[in-house]
């Protein structure tokens, strides 16, 4: 653990060893928040770095038998159709 000093502008300098281990570069954004009475900082990574991180994940979901029937029945449902008419007294749904 290393100590840092807070400047008069409430700025801190992160130790180089921490920046290297987390791959933090000058100008990079970090999220800062208060958690359990302490300050936490999380490096913000570009969304492009997340591409493919779920590759190979099993996306199949085992459902209970009664849930499978509900899904089949809901796909057969046909919504009712309505006619909307504008008259001089307002909108009417038929």
pLDDT tens digits, residue range 55-87?
888 877 777 766 655 555 555 555 666 666 777
Q: What is the rounded CA–CA span in Å between residue 11 and residue 9?
A: 5
> What's the number of domains the chain is made of?
1
Query: Would residue 1 count as lying in a domain?
Result: no
Q: What is the rounded CA–CA span in Å between residue 59 and residue 63?
A: 12
Q: pLDDT-derived band of residue 8, with 50, 70 and 90 as boundaries?
A: very high
Query: Would residue 22 count as lying in a domain?
Result: yes
Q: Which range marks the domain in which residue 30 is found?
A: 16-45
Look at residue 67 in the predicted model and tell me its pLDDT.
62
Query: Would residue 65 count as lying in a domain?
Result: no
Query: Would residue 51 count as lying in a domain?
Result: no
16-47 tens-digit pLDDT: 999 999 889 999 999 999 999 999 999 988 88
Q: Which helix (H) or strand (E) holds 22?
A: helix 16-22
Residue 51 clears pLDDT 90, i.e. is over it: no
């Amino acid at each position: 653990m290393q100590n840092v000093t807070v400047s008069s502008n409430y700025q801190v300098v992160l130790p180089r060893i921490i920046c290297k281990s987390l791959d933090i570069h000058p100008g990079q954004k970090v999220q800062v928040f208060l958690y359990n009475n302490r300050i936490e900082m999380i490096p913000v990574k570009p969304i492009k770095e997340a591409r493919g991180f779920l590759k190979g994940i099993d996306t199949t979901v085992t459902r209970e038998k009664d849930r499978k029937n509900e899904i089949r029945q809901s796909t057969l449902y046909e919504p009712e159709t309505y006619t909307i008419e504008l008259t001089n007294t307002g909108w009417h749904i038929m």
